[in-house]
Amino acid sequence: MTIRIDAAYCRTSTEIQREKGHSIPRQKALLSEDAKKNGCKKLTFYVDDGYSSAHSERPAFVKLRKDIEAGKIRSLRAYSYDRLFRSLMDLLLFMKFAQEHKVEFISLKEKFDTTTPYGKFQLQSLGAAGEFERSIVVQRVRDAMYHKVRKGDFCGGQPAFGYMIKKKKIYQHPDESKVVVIIYDKFIELRSFRGVVHWLNDHGYRTKRGQTWASATVKRILGNPIYMGIQTYGKRKGGAKTYAPESEWMYEKIRGLEPIISKETFEKVQAIIKTRTFKKPDRRGRVYLLSGLIRCECGGKMAGYTHPDKRKPGRSYSYYKCHNHISKGATICPGNSFVKDSLEDLVLREVKARVDLRFDEKDKASVVQLNDDAASNRNRMQTLEKNVQKLTSRKQKLLGLYSEGVIDKKDLKEAIVKI
């Protein structure tokens, strides 16, 4: 028989919260005192120090959920409901989850528990208020940042290559700014990201972190208006990974910041980039069994490449080549390449010898068929991925209906099983 424990959850997200009396020791002391008054001899604490309530993947909170699901928790205390969540949707879903596992919830600050109808009503009302308060704070911070941008103040963050921060102000880096000028000049000359990368690595130049250059880094520098003294703000939605529409981005000149690149040079580079065409590697329906699994002696991953025979139309050759050599140049890796079929046959023979697998002609034929069917398989995979996205969206809508009480748990389970 599992012994159920009385749990308490504590959380702070910032130094300001600690200074305002929300420190972890203070929360523990208040929760322990309340537990003793109500006949609870021992509390097991789950503590997340330095985590925002906006993120559900907090280590201690994740463990708490698992213990509730395992039936280990009898009651759960918190200094305030917003120690758990500020989003009403998240809070209600969690409380339903807790109630299903017969866990009582007690909040000291709001003085309610979920074992009574009044307590449930309080929970929903206060959850809505907390969510509203958080949205107001987020909006105020966003408005303040937009005001800073319009004034021409630097909005902080990690400085781009070519710049440095001193006393919260941005300045040109004396050495890196010279490299930025070289990158722009070389791109105008070579008209190739990879060509610029090879030149930089061949001549011993390194990134801000002391690493060798890569095409993505050069491309980012060539497209950043910061080098004209202009900062971009509002590209991402609330710090998320998704981008806001480009029409909503703000471009403002930073007061007192001397440009590294002239407007004419920047626009010339953008025009060259627009004229270039970028093609994905053509594998001509081939499956590279070892792509990414094998490494060059330089440490770089080796990937599959298919090259058409210019002398014989319709014929092509397949190789495994070092990615470091192709993307970063001969200085980083002199270059190794292996014929696809020869390398794969060698590996398959070695696997067969080591683990005593039985490869017969039928098995070999199935691998050949994989190569022939690769193109149709890719199309099928794209269709499947779109279907998964649609089903995931339906699942989210169902969870919303459940949290609002439109459908019950039984209906929710049946619908999710069908999905």
- pLDDT above 90 for 187: yes
Mean pLDDT of 292-304: 84
The answer to whether residue 248 scores a pLDDT higher than 60 is: yes
pLDDT(278) > 70:
no
Give the pLDDT of residue 364.
60
Evaluated on CA atoms 324, 327, 332, 338, the torsion sign reads positive
Is a pLDDT exceeding 90 seen at residue 333?
A: no
Question: In this predicted model, which residue has the larger pLDDT, 396 or 386?
Answer: 386
pLDDT at 346 (0 to 100): 87
Residue 184 is predicted with a pLDDT of: 95
The kind and range of the H/E element at 11 are strand 5-12
Which tokens sit at 418?
């069908």
Q: What is the mean pLDDT of residues 78-103?
A: 81
The pLDDT value recorded for residue 372 is: 59
Please tell me whether residue 250 adopts helix, strand or coil conformation. strand
Round to whole Å and give the CA distance between 189 and 268: 11
* DSSP labels, 144-160: HHHHHHHHT----SSPP
Better-predicted residue by pLDDT, 146 or 334: 334
Q: Which of 232, 218, 156 is nearest to 190 (CA)?
A: 218
Average pLDDT over residues 202-213: 89
**DSSP element (H, E) containing 163:** strand 163-166
DSSP code string of 219-245 = HHHHT-GGGGTEEEE--BSTT-SSBPP
Residue 169 has pLDDT above 70, yes or no: yes
Q: Can you give the pLDDT at residue 147?
A: 77
CA distance 54 to 112: 23
Classify residue 414 as exposed, middle or buried by CB count within 10 Å of its CB (0-12, 13-18, 19+).
exposed
CA distances from 121 to 72, 76, 127, 350 (A): 26, 18, 10, 67
Radius of gyration (Cα) for the chain, nearest Å? 30
Q: Has residue 244 got a pLDDT over 80?
A: no
Q: What value, to the nearest 5°, has the Cα angle with vertex 162 and ends 156 and 168?
A: 25
Residue 179 has pLDDT above 90, yes or no: yes
Binning pLDDT at 50, 70 and 90, where does residue 45 land?
very high
Average pLDDT over residues 70-81: 90
With 90 as the cut, is the pLDDT of residue 397 above it? no
The single-letter DSSP state of residue 213 is P
Q: Which range, 52-56, 218-222, 353-357, 364-368, is most confident? A: 218-222
pLDDT at 111: 72
Alpha carbon 308 to chain centroid, angstroms: 37
DSSP H helical ranges for 228-339: 263-275, 323-328
Residue with tokens 């704070």: 137
- Output the pLDDT for position 360: 62
Residue 164, pLDDT above cutoff 60: yes
pLDDT higher at 60 or 415: 60
CA distance 74 to 89: 23
pLDDT digits (tens, 9 = 90+) for 301-310: 888 888 777 7
- Quote the tokens at residue 246: 């480009």
pLDDT at position 10 is: 93
- Predicted pLDDT at 267: 93
Scanning the structure block, which residue is given the tokens 């866990």?
103
Q: What is the band of 29 on the pLDDT scale with cuts at 50, 70, 90? A: very high
Query: Nearest to residue 173, comparing CAs of 251, 227, 217, 213?
Result: 227
- 413: three-class secondary structure by DSSP: helix
Q: Report the helix count and the strand count for the chain, using DSSP H and E.
A: 14, 12
Mean pLDDT for 131-154 is 74
Where residue 375 falls among pLDDT bands split at 50, 70, 90?
low
Instruction: State how far the Cα of 78 lies from the Cα of 12, in Å rounded to an integer.
Output: 12
Which of the four pLDDT bands, split at 50, 70 and 90, describes residue 200? very high
Whole-angstrom distance, CA of residue 155 vs CA of residue 239: 14
Q: Which residues pair with 77 in a beta bridge?
A: 8, 106
d(CA 406, CA 222): 52
- Looking at residue 167, its pLDDT comes to 81
Q: Which residues contact 282 (CB under 8 A, 6 or more apart)?
A: 306, 308
Provide, rounded to the nearest whole percent, the portion of the chain with pLDDT above 70.
Answer: 79
Confidence of residue 7 (pLDDT cuts 50, 70, 90): very high
What is the CB neighbour count within 10 angstroms for residue 305?
Answer: 20
Give the pLDDT score at 55: 75
**Average pLDDT estimate for 270-293:** 72
Residue 15's pLDDT band (cuts 50, 70, 90):
low
Which pLDDT band holds residue 393 (cuts at 50, 70, 90)? confident
pLDDT category at 32 given cuts 50, 70, 90 is very high
* Whole-number Å distance between alpha carbons of 81 and 7: 14
Residue 8 has pLDDT above 90, yes or no: yes
The one-letter amino acid code at 72 reads K
Kindly state the DSSP code that residue 108 receives in the 8-state scheme: T
Question: Higher confidence at residue 203 or residue 286?
Answer: 203
Indicate the residue type of 285: G
Q: What ranges make up the beta strands (E) of 64-154? A: 73-78, 104-107, 112-113
Find which of 104-118, 123-137, 159-173 is predicted with most confidence, using mean pLDDT: 159-173
Q: Does residue 12 or residue 352 have the better pLDDT?
A: 12
* Average pLDDT across the chain, whole number: 80
Share of the chain above pLDDT 90, in %: 21
